[in-house]
Amino acid sequence: MAHRLIIENLSLQYSSSEPKALSSLSVDVPAGSCCAIIGPTGAGKSTLLHCLAGTMHRQHPESVASGRLQLGETRFEGLPDHILFPVAALVLQDPYVQISGVRDTVFEEILFTLENLGAAPQNPRKIIMPLLQRLGIDHLANRKPTSLSGGETQRVALAAILVAQPSILLLDEPTSALDSNAQDKLRAILRSLRGTTTVMMSDTQIDFALAIADQILLLDHGTIVFAGSPSALLSRAREYSSIIPVESWLATQSFLTSLQTSSGHQKLISKALGLQ
Amino acid sequence: MPVRAYLDLPSKLALVFLLWVCAFTLSWTFQVSLCLLLVIARFAIPAFRPLSPRSATAFSKFIVYSISVALLVVCLNALFIKTGGTIATVLGFSFYEDGLLFGLKTASRLILLSFSVLMFFISTPLPVLIGYLQEKGLPPSLVLVLLLTLHFLDQLPRRIHQIFLAQQARGAPVDAGVISRTKALLSILSPLVLASIVESIERGTALELRGFLSRPAADRIPAQIGKQDNLLGICFYFLSLAILLYSIYRWLIA
Amino acid sequence: MTIEFINVNFRYQDEHQVLSNLSFVVEPGAFLLVIGQNGVGKSTLLKLMNGILKPTSGKVLVGGLDTTKHPTSRLAAKICVTFQNPADQIFAPSVQKEVEFAPRNLKRPDIDELVSRALSLCSLDTVRTKHPYDLPSPQRRLLTIASAIASGAPYLAFDEPSAGLSQIERIVLERLLQELKRDGRGFVVVSHDLGLFLRHASQVLVLSGGTNIFFGSPEDLLDQGGSLRKAGLKLPLPLRLERLANR
């Protein structure tokens, strides 16, 4: 069951003497939709995801937060003081630390999550193998989780969270080590979650974010600079070139010109981005 | 995997306790025999079999390593504790009886202590152990610390190897011999530990993000303790007690 | 100097992963981009280049040195390789010391100069006294790149150098590649990030099923298209659009 996610006026300091890492963020993510956060390093993308997952009290016990969060029917004044798994589940950026190290195969690594839920099913293969297949890593099922490449580990880490079927899925830079093929698979999975899982992800790969998200947040120095649809962002891309240089977003000059020209080109872009 | 293969966790713990008691009380001949029995048990008894090929190799390596260390300890003691009669003289070096005996006692004790602990860890699935400890009321934070420590120890050799590779890739002659290896190892030890601590903290968060420790102990995987296992465990504890009492008695009349 | 792979086969002792019958030559000052799906053996290829791994059969020659006959520390003077995971290769207590490590070991006469240049190329000059673990992870990745640059080796080999970098650091990376290319440095880059590196590459090696299904210029690769599809790879969106627009 997807949950609606509401962030109201959220501010955060890592300690009372430090400047605000997040300031007065307000976002409404409808249940079952996908919201992508983009912005430069240090903009607060990861911080926001950690706030929503409920890890802030652990990682930064000194941190001071204000504002409100609402996940489905549950409301929090300030930040939650416990990890919200499996209601909200976060896949971290560094794939290697997410391998528990207590299991010998990828299959068992995924099973570990189910056991933590106290809900290890009768025949876990029936649940886990199709999931691995969807992520294109079923051939790794019997491999040792610590012997995999970065891209493979990243998908194992994702599978280990997805298997818990969270209501709100939080992804921190999910594409950073994925090849284009794996990215396509991830995109297909995120699409298939539409309606059943609310997704919030940070991504530095703008084209991936644009192609999958219903809503884009552009963060800079802890504040929301832009919130809206991907096409609205594209049409205003130039305005934000000081935060994210446009030439690096879209990599080629001709793409830039195509952005400003005919509606035919716009359609082309939307089509290529999978927005249609 | 049948759960029976590694079920008797409390009795195994009791056995480790018994072996530790033996290590501190019995004579070195007993201890050496117990070590031999342990090695046989590793192959013969399902409950003591290593869980993975990796832990099997670790165990074999440890046997070779500890026997060489033991021999070294025995020789050094026999050389430098110069009391008692001379047993043998090799290349002008004399070995003395008292030193030899003391060396044997120390070495066999060390081996028995480490063998028993190692045997326990290679044959016990971590989740089962963790589940059991939680059931017994170990605070979650301690359980997490234990888990991360074990993981750290498990990964340490791999990390050292990786960093050696990285150093070689940047021109350090780590591959040139024992001395340069040792020097390199000493120089990376503290940053390595620091890096591991940083990583452990993140790994801890990652584990909790997958629901680890989030549920009450009652819901965890039960350690599957049968009655006969309980009985076996109690026997081990009684035996430990008996050996302890006996050695105290001997110590009193001596 | 060149890097030559002659009929190289590689098999891990306990695993299935294999490179088979790989032959190619990287010309002096070339920029070789190695692409292929996750787990196809790209990282293995890099480790074969500096002798961390030795071919099961065949030969790898780096600047004329056979990697089976020379230790990695010696080959490091010819090619400096970084790994995928920064945590596996950062060990010094400060950024400066980390970057100094390679030129010091390789006994370069101009250590200070090499270090300053590498630090400024990677925009790390302001954090040189910091502990590497106090840096955010994109900067840690740049630190591994700076450490390789400072080696002064004529060839630099990077494993997924753009992974986890935000736009700002990607620009830093692109600029430093351009600048070092101008100096005549050669590169071997393993990456899935075609959008970033294809423009800089002079040669592309496409791996699929453990062997090279394409070796040639980026232009030829784009014209053919087939090899990319065969390797299960796709051009990134902007490149795809550019090609569509040019048609």
Domains of chain C: 3-78+153-245 (3.40.50.300)
What is the pLDDT at residue B194? 79
Please indicate if any CB of chain B lies within 8 Å of the CB of A115.
yes
Tell me the average pLDDT across C61-86. 93
C73–B192 CB contact, under 8 Å = no
**Least Cα separation, residue A35 to chain C (angstroms):** 18
CA distance A244 to chain B (A): 29
Q: Which of A149, A251, A265 sits opposite C39 (nearest CB)?
A: A149
Nearest to A83 among B155, B201, B214 (CB): B214
d(CA A135, nearest CA chain C) in Å: 12
* Contact (CB, 8 A) for C121 and C179: yes
Which whole number is the average pLDDT over C6-17? 81
From residue C162, alpha-carbon distances to A43, B24, C17, C194, C197 in Å are: 19, 57, 25, 11, 9
Asked whether the predicted pLDDT for residue B6 surpasses 50, the reply is no
Write the secondary structure of A159-188 as one string of H (helix), E (strand) and C (coil): HHHHCCCCCEEEEECCCCCCCHHHHHHHHH
pLDDT of residue A178: 76
pLDDT at residue B62, as a whole number? 83
Q: Do A116 and B206 touch (CB under 8 A)?
A: no
Q: How many other C-beta atoms lie within 10 A of the C-beta of residue C125?
A: 16
CB A72 within 8 A of CB A42: no
Residue C44 has pLDDT above 60, yes or no: yes
| Interchain CB distance below 8 Å, B175 and C102 | no
Task: Return the higher-pLDDT residue of A172 and C237.
Answer: A172
**A108-112, A154-158, A205-209: least confident range:** A205-209
Identify all chain A residues contacting C144, using CB atoms and an 8 Å cutoff.
Answer: none
CB < 8 Å & 24+ apart, contacts of C211-217: C211/C19, C211/C20, C211/C21, C211/C22, C212/C22, C212/C23, C212/C24, C215/C24
Per-residue pLDDT for A247 more than 60?
Answer: no
Per-chain mean pLDDT for chain B: 79
Say what the pLDDT of residue C53 is. Answer: 93
Between C110 and A242, the higher pLDDT residue: C110
Q: Please tell me which chains touch A, using 3 or more CB pairs under 8 Å as the contact test.
A: B, C
Note whether A169 and A52 are within 8 A (CB). Answer: no
Rounded Cα distance between C178 and C202, Å, is 12
Rounded average pLDDT over A157-164: 94
Q: Evaluate whether C148 touches C156 at the Cβ level (below 8 Å).
A: yes
Task: Report chain C's mean pLDDT, rounded to a whole number.
Answer: 90
Which chain C residues are closer than 8 Å to B163 by Cβ?
88-89, 91
User: Please, which residues have CB within 8 angstroms of residue C16's CB and are 6 or more apart in sequence?
Assistant: none
Band (A268; pLDDT cuts 50, 70, 90): low
Bin B35: left if φ > 0, else alpha if -120 < ψ < 50, else beta.
Answer: alpha
In chain C, residues with a C-beta closer than 8 Å to the C-beta of A93 are 137, 164
B202 touches chain C (CB under 8 A): no
User: Residues C207-228: pLDDT tens digits?
Assistant: 998 888 999 999 899 888 788 8
Mutation target among A94, A108, A115, A161 for the B interface, most CBs of B within 10 A:
A115
Pick the more confident residue, B126 or B100.
B100
Looking at residue C9, what is its pLDDT? 93
Four-CA torsion C224, C225, C227, C229, nearest 10 degrees:
-160
The per-residue pLDDT for B89 is 78
What is the token pair recorded at C194?
A: 């075609």
Mean pLDDT of A72-86: 91
The answer to whether C232 and C63 are in contact (CB under 8 A) is: no
Q: Which residue has the higher pLDDT, A105 or A90?
A: A90
Strands (E), B29-129: 86-90, 93-96
Of B170, B175, B190, Cβ closest to residue C101: B170
User: How far apart are the C-alpha atoms of C91 and B185, rounded to whole Å?
Assistant: 11
Q: Which residue has the higher pLDDT, B182 or A270?
A: B182
With H, G, I as helix, E, B as strand and everything else as coil, classify residue B178. Answer: helix
User: In this predicted model, what pLDDT tens digit does every residue of B21-63 receive, in sequence order?
Assistant: 888 888 888 888 888 888 888 888 777 777 777 778 878 888 8
Which of A50-54, A135-139, B136-140 has the highest mean predicted lDDT (pLDDT)?
A: A50-54
- B145, B146, B64: which is closest to B111 by C-alpha? B64
CB A1 within 8 A of CB A167: yes
At residue C199, the 3 state secondary structure works out as: coil
- Candidates A92, A97, A149, A202: best to mutate against C (most CBs of C within 10 A) is A149
Condensed to tens digits (0 to 9), the pLDDT of residues B192-205 reads 887 788 888 888 88
Q: How confident is the prediction for chain A on average, in pLDDT?
A: 84
- Per the document, the length of chain C is 247
Q: In this structure, which amino acid lies at residue B46?
A: P
If pLDDT is split at 50, 70 and 90, which confidence band does B213 have?
A: confident
Rounded to a whole number, what is the distance in Å from the CA of A55 to chain B's nearest CA? 7
Which chains reach chain C with 3 or more Cβ–Cβ distances below 8 angstroms?
A: A, B
Distance from CA of A266 to the nearest CA of B (A): 41
Region of residue A178 (left: phi > 0; alpha: psi -120 to 50; beta: else): beta
> In B74-95, which positions are buried (b, 16+ CB within 10 angstroms) versus exposed (e)?
bbebbbebeeeeeeeeeeeeeb
- The nearest alpha carbon in chain C to B53 belongs to C14
pTM over the 0.80 mark: no
Q: What pLDDT, in 10s, does the model give residues B163-188? A: 889 999 998 887 667 787 777 778 78
Whole-angstrom Cα distance, residue C168 to residue A34? 25
C-alpha angle with apex A147: B62 to C166, nearest 5 degrees? Answer: 135
Q: Which of B169, B172, B187 sits opposite C50 (nearest CB)?
A: B169
Interface-testing mutation among A176, A250, A273, with chain C (most C C-beta atoms within 10 A): A176
Residue C9 CB burial class (10 angstroms; 0-12, 13-18, ≥19): middle
C103-118: average pLDDT: 95
pLDDT at residue B220 in the model = 47
Give the pLDDT band of residue A262 (cuts 50, 70, 90): very low
